[in-house]
């Protein structure tokens, strides 16, 4: 038995499914990773991989990135002996630094994206006096009732594009939250206008990822986000941006700045603390004030935890001037050029899309919404991803996933990734020519 098999065997005796997050389950067993170093991870079998997952995009600088950890340790020393339960100067500074990057009026820290979205839902209800939400088809905004709906639905379940079905994202959900949800298609202002108008008296907010990164990387069409802003204003519905993945990585550091569209509320997480546990809610002053003026509540034992804000302050200060993000941007553009040139030469319809270190491959000519992403060529993707894994590139072998590089992915490492992509595309071509 290999070490991984032994660990999996042991884990299955104590942990249902042998994993602590279902997204890590793999056949025949999950990867057991024991060390991270820059862009590399090492598993318990002694295999070395270039990490192209990077904590689902949360590890912005790289594993063990020295400049980050030096600052982080210095910040921790400023709160010696403390963990949680108090407001600290660190948290004040981290909030100030956050708001220098994100153009919102106010912000609060919480721990996870799902907690942030729960706060947003309560704030939106408290502010508007309405109960229900509109979500974008295919998007993932957390695992809680109320948003865990129509994330990655099977195409056979999605229904009419003019009135998409609300498909439960998991068993055990409150069935009322599914009935209360309106699903709209991404990049389709016309259908969104119709469905939001019909339901305006019950909708507290429209929640969306302004760039759909959770299903790869789908950018909003020109004018789409501006159109949503105008529509929501007209109908008295709050506009919420889920920038958990977009935040700090997309151009300008946020979609609200990049596209010049101000949401009423937004959530951030992932890259905010370079892989440490932290999320944030940010937005317009009057909506954010609902948590302080008695309209709703916002509490949490670990909110503003010293370790988390120490990490956030270190990460945010290091990324504030945008140069790290811009360097990753160039590398992803280079990967795109290389990948698409090889795909074209081999006659494979495929694109690499991404910005600011986030990216994904679609085996399709173009992808503008969830149905396009889900309808892309699965068999080509799996052949490609498996060939990447065989070459030591840690990727997720699922077409509806997303990938990321970090600051530690040097030009030399990017070349290795590009060479591996060429080989993997060759495998796809061989498979298709059989
Ligand atoms: C866009 C988006 N929103 C919300 C969440 C939920 O965040 P968390 O896993 O921290 O609860 C995720 C997590 O993957 C996400 O990608």
Ligand 1 centre distance from Cα of residue 342 (Å): 33
- Tell me if the bond preceding 154 is cis, omega within 30° of 0: no
Whether residue 180 is found in the same domain as residue 139: yes
Domain membership of residue 11 (yes or no) is no
Q: Look at residue 10 in the predicted model and tell me its pLDDT.
A: 98
- Position in ligand 1 atom list of the atom nearest CA 111: 10
Domain CATH for 186: 3.40.640.10
Domain membership of residue 12 (yes or no) is no
Closest Cα to atom 8 of ligand 1: 113
Domain membership of residue 4 (yes or no) is no
392 φ/ψ sector (left φ>0, alpha ψ -120 to 50, else beta): left
Whether residue 242 contacts residue 266, with contact meaning beta carbons closer than 8 Å, is answered with yes
**242 CB under 6 A from ligand 1?**
yes
**113 CB under 6 A from ligand 1?**
yes
Q: How many domains does the chain have?
A: 2
Helix segments in 347-377, DSSP class H: 370-374
Domain membership of residue 213 (yes or no) is yes
Whether residue 180 is found in the same domain as residue 300: yes
Q: Look at residue 76 in the predicted model and tell me its pLDDT.
A: 97
**56 CB under 6 A from ligand 1?**
yes
Strands (E), 3-129: 33-37, 40-43, 48-51, 106-110
Pocket probe mutation, ligand 1, options 54, 269, 272, max atoms within 8 Å of Cβ: 269
Whether residue 219 is found in the same domain as residue 358: no
Which of 399, 418, 400, 398 lies closest to 409 in space, CA to CA? Answer: 418
Residue ending a domain, among 257, 287, 319, is 319
Instruction: For residue range 21-62, list pLDDT tens digits in order.
Output: 999 999 999 999 999 999 999 999 999 999 999 999 999 999
Ligand 1 centre distance from Cα of residue 112 (Å): 7
Domain membership of residue 36 (yes or no) is yes
Q: Look at residue 434 in the predicted model and tell me its pLDDT.
A: 85
Q: Look at residue 298 in the predicted model and tell me its pLDDT.
A: 97
**141 CB under 6 A from ligand 1?**
yes
Ligand 1 centre distance from Cα of residue 415 (Å): 30
**153 CB under 6 A from ligand 1?**
no
Q: 248 in helix, strand or coil?
A: coil
Closest Cα to atom 7 of ligand 1: 113
Ligand 1 centre distance from Cα of residue 117 (Å): 9
Whether residue 54 is found in the same domain as residue 110: no
Ligand 1 centre distance from Cα of residue 348 (Å): 32
Whether residue 128 is found in the same domain as residue 104: yes
Whether residue 44 is found in the same domain as residue 173: no
Residue ending a domain, among 319, 339, 366, is 319
Q: 423 in helix, strand or coil?
A: helix
Domain membership of residue 15 (yes or no) is no
Ligand 1 centre distance from Cα of residue 419 (Å): 31
Which of 381, 387, 386 lies closest to 399 in space, CA to CA? Answer: 381
Whether residue 145 is found in the same domain as residue 160: yes
- Position in ligand 1 atom list of the atom nearest CA 142: 6
Whether residue 138 is found in the same domain as residue 171: yes
Whether residue 160 is found in the same domain as residue 196: yes
**142 CB under 6 A from ligand 1?**
yes
**245 CB under 6 A from ligand 1?**
yes
Q: Provide the domain limits for residue 276.
A: 66-319
Closest Cα to atom 3 of ligand 1: 141
Whether residue 299 is found in the same domain as residue 329: no
**112 CB under 6 A from ligand 1?**
yes
Residues 6+ apart with CB under 8 A from 312: 94, 97, 98, 109, 272, 273, 276, 278
Closest Cα to atom 4 of ligand 1: 141
Domain membership of residue 312 (yes or no) is yes
Whether residue 131 is found in the same domain as residue 257: yes
Closest Cα to atom 9 of ligand 1: 113
Q: Give me the residues of the chain with pLDDT under 50, please.
A: none
Whether residue 95 is found in the same domain as residue 241: yes
Domain CATH for 419: 3.90.1150.10
- Position in ligand 1 atom list of the atom nearest CA 209: 1
Whether this prediction's pTM lies above 0.95 is answered by yes
**214 CB under 6 A from ligand 1?**
yes
Domain membership of residue 5 (yes or no) is no
Residue ending a domain, among 319, 348, 365, is 319
Pocket probe mutation, ligand 1, options 133, 186, 218, 245, max atoms within 8 Å of Cβ: 245
């Amino acid at each position: 038995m290999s070490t991984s098999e032994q660990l999996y065997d042991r884990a299955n005796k104590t942990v249902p499914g042998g994993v602590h997050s279902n997204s890590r389950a793999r056949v025949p067993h999950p990867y057991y990773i024991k060390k991270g170093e820059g862009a590399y991870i090492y598993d318990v079998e002694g295999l070395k991989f270039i990490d192209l997952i990077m904590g689902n995009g949360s590890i912005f600088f790289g594993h063990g990135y020295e400049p980050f950890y030096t600052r982080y340790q210095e910040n921790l020393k400023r709160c010696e002996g403390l963990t949680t339960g108090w407001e600290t100067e660190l948290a004040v500074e981290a909030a100030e630094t956050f708001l220098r990057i994100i153009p919102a009026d106010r912000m609060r820290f919480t721990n996870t994206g799902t907690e942030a979205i729960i706060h947003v839902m309560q704030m939106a209800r408290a502010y508007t006096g309405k109960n229900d939400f509109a979500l974008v088809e295919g998007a993932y905004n957390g695992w809680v009732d109320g948003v865990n709906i129509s994330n990655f639905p099977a195409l056979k379940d999605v229904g009419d594009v003019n009135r998409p079905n609300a498909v439960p994202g998991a068993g055990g959900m409150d069935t009322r939250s599914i009935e209360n949800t309106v699903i709209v298609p991404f990049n389709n202002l016309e259908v969104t206008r119709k469905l939001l108008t019909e339901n305006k008296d019950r909708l507290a907010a429209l929640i969306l990822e302004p760039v759909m990164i959770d299903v790869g990387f789908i950018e909003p069409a020109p004018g789409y986000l501006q159109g949503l802003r105008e529509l929501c204003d007209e109908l008295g519905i709050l506009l919420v941006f889920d920038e958990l993945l977009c935040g700090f990585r997309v151009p300008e550091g946020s979609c609200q700045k990049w596209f010049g569209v101000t949401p009423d509320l937004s959530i951030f997480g992932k890259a905010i603390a370079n892989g440490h546990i932290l999320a944030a809610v940010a937005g317009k002053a009057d909506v954010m004030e609902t948590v302080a003026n008695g309209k709703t509540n916002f509490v949490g034992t670990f909110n503003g935890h010293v370790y988390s804000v120490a990490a956030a302050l270190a990460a945010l200060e290091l990324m504030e001037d945008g140069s790290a993000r811009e360097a990753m941007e160039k590398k992803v553009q280079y990967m795109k050029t290389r990948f698409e040139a090889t795909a074209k030469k081999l006659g494979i319809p495929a694109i690499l899309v991404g910005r600011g270190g986030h990216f994904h491959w679609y085996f399709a000519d173009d992808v503008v919404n969830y149905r396009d992403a889900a309808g892309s060529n699965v068999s080509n993707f799996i052949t490609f991803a498996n060939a990447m894994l065989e070459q030591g590139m840690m990727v997720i072998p699922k077409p509806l996933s997303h990938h990321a590089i970090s600051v530690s992915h040097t030009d030399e490492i990017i070349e290795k990734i590009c060479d591996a992509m060429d080989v993997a595309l060759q495998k796809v071509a061989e498979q298709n020519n059989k």
